[in-house]
Structure 1
Amino acid sequence: MRVSIEGSEPAIWRLLEVDPSLTLDRIHDVIQTAVGWRDSHLHSFTDTDPYKRLRPVNGKLQEPRRWVSQDLLEDSDEDLPEADWALGQILTPESGPLFYEYDFGDGWIHRLELTGNLPAPANAPRARLLDGARRAPLEDSGGIGGYHDLLDALADPGHDNHRDLKAWVAWTAGPWQEFDPEQLDINAVNNELALLFPGATVNEPGPASQPLIRELTHRLPPGIRREFRSYAASAGLDRPTQVDRDIAESMTAPYLWLARRIGPDGISLTAAGWLPPAVVREAMTELGWAKDWIGKANREDQTLPVLQLRESAQRLGLIRKIKGRLVLTSATKRLLDDPAGLWLFLARALAHRHRHDSERDAVLLFLLEVAAGKRTEWADYLEAVAFGLGALGWSTRTGAALEPKTVQALLVDAQDVLLNLGIFDDRVGLKANTVKAPGQAFARAALHS
């Protein structure tokens, strides 16, 4: 079956081997996956070309048949249920083409043509992409005419709307794929097509087989899963996550210092519940933070790096406060002389210890970005995580997309951890932060846990 988007020039098309016993609701899934749509709009099938005026045949005007989903059936007495009709009943050697419309506003018309019938082996996939050209148009780009206009504007830096449209494309395409009108990854499409059918003997490829990534993937809308899986693969999550002792000791130095300073006997806090001034001053000096700090650096409530370190260690389960004293947890006592073990403990804690589900999702998306190592500006991290949270269904109480300041609040604790580990080096998020190999390995270890 050849699927082509009407009016596309150059043509956007796919050549598929498809089991004719698949019902039209499953053919909808196949087309969405093969073309690369995100399945965020309504759709229908019809046996009549929407672009042509109906003409009488033998003096009779033949009414077109239209197949729709269950939701649309509730508003129609004439449409047919797509789940009750198999492709082979409609698209035959004797029939004309079938038409599939996606997004009734933009009106993306797909022409489905039978190109042949072949006997299939017993283990043949239910749907497989053989060939094709060009990625799907961007969702909500105004139909094929609007999409062509968009491409023209993007290709012309002098166009009045070039800058605004470029920003819109970046947001719409999202952080998990570069927008390239010519791009088509047939192998990735076939992986997704195989995953559409539960009876198929296929494992989710690469990083998607890891529990945290798999769980996030399955909660995403089906139309965006391929992009996410491909991005996870680019983050190298299948690489080793071991760390050398020297690197682990360097990265975990702040947490190691605090744990060893508290020691097996614990340390008493002041009457107000703060670390003693001498300990605060010692921390700033020993950890090399004093040179960048203005002030005496001896009061914890006014010395942000030490306060953040202590609070972070408590959240991660390294220390706890009991009756006015800081004491080590049993796990930390075992790790005082094991920097690599502490490194792994921190990675697992960062991935799993959260106050609520929205924070958990934000942190996992953030760790994926760190593992990929493609962002440098903090604003880019926030934008990428915001996109992922929206795809996972998080929004404000009014249904609006999450603002950067909201995402920042969800990530502030994780950001503190990465600052303490030296993965990021700018506490106010204004400088560029290039993540190096040890930081990427830490993020991978967290996502592996």
Structure 2
Amino acid sequence: MTIRAADENDGSVLLQVKVSIVGSEPVIWRLLEVDSSLTLDNVHNIIQTAVGWRDSHLHSFTDTDPFVRLRAVNGQVPEPRRWVSEDLLEDSDDDLPETDWRLGQVLTPESGPLFYEYDFGDSWIHRVELTGSLPRPSGAPRARLLDGALRAPLEDSGGIGGYHDLLDALANPNHDEHEDLKAWVTWTAGPWQEFDPERLDIDDVNHELALLFPAPSANEPGPGSESLIQELAHRLPPGIRRDFRSYLAAADLDGPSTVDAATAEAMVAPYLWLARRIGGDGLPLTAAGWLPPAVVHEAMTELGWAKNWIGNANREDQTLPVLQLRESAQRLGLIRKIKGRLVLTAALKRLLDDPAGLWLILARALAHRHRHDSGRDAVLLLLLEVAAGRRTVWEDYLDAVAFGLSALGWRTRIGAELPPETVEALLHEPREVLSNLGVFHDGGGTQTATIVTQPGQSFARAALHS
């Protein structure tokens, strides 16, 4: 989410605000400078970003301590004020719209603290205290983290008591649920940042806060100017986005994204063989629409696939390596089927003697050609993992992509997280392409081990930069 920059002459001040999670021990806290003119919906985004939540639950603000019983004044118990999002306003006549109230209106030296509740099930209560103020200099950040301690609790860990119990269990290898909880933490924290309850990177937080309030610029990037992976990052919830950007930095996406001519020719060999075999005049298919048996046999022999194949290897419908190669070449826009013949696209005709150019075209096609947006996101997440080169078994790639798709909001029609078989299906075709290119050691497409080669990492970087 991006928030429009303020008018530099709006007369606002910077409020120094301490946000602490009630009941945490040791205290999880943040000290912030926040523009007093910001409305509470923006303050919600700031707290989410600064603390490290994932903005996946409801929230509200109130000016009354939820742990203190209100006393009657002149025989009447005062009604606490509560500010909520538009979604919650539909079900209430008493709540106030958080979009209409500025922080400076509700948090003053006379008002006492605010209380921000996140996730009405786990009930994470944040005490928001005013500790000082100063005039806002021209150009000063509208929100900045000054100091703090500890990372945010894990979402859905059962409130502050449940989170403390979780930390105790993780610290005790003899705990009955130690291993199960470790696995749950690994999945919940995600593949991009190892869970560390002590971790707080102030620079990372301030980078994300700055992205909420981009300075006006005549040279501001227009639509479509972001890289594929940057666009993906901007769609993630704040707490996950920080971890994702840290992972991007460690993945060295600015590393080599080209290969020498000989390596390119070796990698694109299956596609180049098929293109040259089709030739400029095209290749007639059988009456049933398959490659001729002689061509299937040639492919299996000349590409070195026959030695690991059981059977005659001369019928395309029964020879998966050739069938998958032909189908992926069609999906990637390299060849077309017209009137019973396979023909080369104009772009591929120009690349029959340019393996390096074909290598780059394949990288671009893998990143950009997709049937559905979910498939696009799955491919980009897979390419990121390939570029990072950290995973060694296919199941780890699946877990990382599944987590990313969930974080991006992909769900089944009934609102459930995507099951493993759906994620596997989304990655089936791109995995075939990567396997054809020799991106993985041991063949990748048929082996459990999927260790990435250095040229494979370069291919993934080229795809992500395309």
TM bin, normalised by shorter chain, reads over 0.9
Q: 1:427 to 1:274 in 2, by over 3 A?
A: farther
Give the alignment of 1:398-437 within 5 angstroms: 398-424=414-440, 425-426=442-443, 429-437=446-454
Where do residues 228-307 of structure 1 align in structure 2 (5 Å cutoff)?
228-307=244-323
- Between the aligned partners of 2:404 and 2:62, the Cα distance in structure 1 is 35
1:360 is aligned to 2:360: no
Partners of 2:200 and 2:250 lie apart in 1 by 16
1:414 CA displacement: 0.7
Quote how far apart the aligned CAs of 1:222 are.
4.6
The aligned residue for residue 113 of structure 2 is: 97
Q: How does 1:98-137 map to 2 (within 5 A)?
A: 98-137=114-153
Shift of 1:348: 0.7
Map of 1:180 onto structure 2:
196
Change (3 A) 1:429 1:54: farther
Q: Is the 8 A contact 1:195 1:202 kept in 2?
A: no
For 1:204 and 1:436, the matched residues in 2 are separated by 37
| Structure 1 residue 97 displacement after superposition | 2.1
CA contact 1:251–1:421 (8 Å) conserved in 2: yes
Which residue identity is paired with 2:119? D
* Paired residue secondary structure (1:39): coil
Q: Is the partner of 1:131 in helix, strand or coil?
A: strand
Cα offset, 1:399, TM superposition: 1.9
- Aligned partners of 1:203 and 1:209 also within 8 Å: no
Which residue pairs with 1:382 in the alignment? 398
Whole-Å separation in 2 of the counterparts to 1:8 and 1:30 = 20
Q: How does 1:184-203 map to 2 (within 5 A)?
A: 184-199=200-215
Identical-pair percentage: 78
| Aligned counterparts of 2:230 and 2:314: Cα–Cα separation in 1 | 46
Q: Alpha-carbon deviation of 1:39?
A: 1.2
The amino acid that maps onto 1:443 is A
Q: Normalising by the residue count of structure 2, what TM-score does the alignment of the two structures yield?
A: 0.89
Unaligned runs of 5+ in 1: none
Q: So what's the TM-score if we normalise by structure 1?
A: 0.92
Aligned position for 2:99: 83
Matched with 1:215 is 231
Structure 2: gaps of 5 or more residues: 1-16
Distance change >3 Å, CA 250–CA 64, structure 1 → 2: same
Counterpart in 1 of 2:360? 344
Q: Verify the 8 A CA contact 2:431 2:445 in the aligned structure 1.
A: no
Q: Summarize deviations over 1:60-111 as a string: whole Å, max 9, x none.
A: 7544332222332333333333222222223223342222111121111111
Report the CA distance between 1:240 and its aligned residue.
4.2
Q: Is the 8 A contact 1:195 1:204 kept in 2?
A: no
Deviations 1:327-375 (A, max 9, x none): 2222112111111111000001111222233222221222122112222
Q: Is the 8 A contact 2:444 2:450 kept in 1?
A: no
SS at match of 2:350: helix
- The size of the alignment, in residue pairs, is 447
Q: Distance in 1 between matches of 2:75 and 2:337?
A: 89
**Equivalent-residue separation in structure 1 for 2:218 and 2:178 (angstroms):** 43
The offset of 1:231, in angstroms, is 2.7
Distance (Å, rounded) in 1 between the aligned partners of 2:211 and 2:28 = 23
Pairwise mapping of residues 14-25 of structure 1 onto structure 2 (< 5 A)? 14-25=30-41
Question: In structure 1, what is the Cα distance between the partners aligned to 2:95 and 2:385?
Answer: 45
Question: 1:125 touches 1:200 (CA, 8 Å); kept in 2?
Answer: no
Q: Which is worse superposed, 82-91 or 149-158?
A: 82-91
1:2 to 9, 18, 27: 18
Q: Cα deviation per residue 1:283-321 (whole Å; 9 max; x = unaligned)? A: 222222122112222222222111111111122122222
Distance 1:90 1:327 in 2: 69
Asked if the contact 2:41–2:99 (Cα under 8 Å) also holds between the matched residues in 1, the reply is: yes
| Alpha-carbon spacing, 1:59–1:322, altered in 2? closer, same or farther (3 Å) | closer
Q: Distance in 1 between matches of 2:443 and 2:43?
A: 50
2:462 aligns with 445
CA positional deviation for 1:51: 1.9
> What residue identity is the alignment partner of 1:236?
D
**Displacement of 1:384 after TM fit?**
1.9
The 10-residue stretch of structure 1 (196-205 or 104-113) with the greater mean CA deviation from structure 2: 196-205
Q: Distance in 2 between matches of 1:428 and 1:71?
A: 46
The separation in 2 between residues aligned to 1:202 and 1:228, in whole angstroms, is: 29
Residue number among 54, 58, 72 corresponding to 1:38 in the alignment: 54
**Deviation at 1:131?**
1.2
* CA–CA separation in structure 1 for the residues paired with 2:420 and 2:196: 26
The letter of the residue matching 1:399 is G
| 2:331 aligned partner, one-letter code | R
Q: 1:59 to 1:406 in 2, by over 3 A?
A: closer
Residues 73/326 of structure 1: CA separation in 2 closer, same or farther (3 Å cut)? closer
CA distance in 1, matches of 2:150, 2:91: 35
Distance 1:203 1:117, change over 3 A: farther
1:145 aligns with 2:175: no
Structure 1 residue 211: deviation in Å? 2.9
CA positional deviation for 1:416: 0.9
Deviates more, 1:366-375 or 1:409-418: 366-375
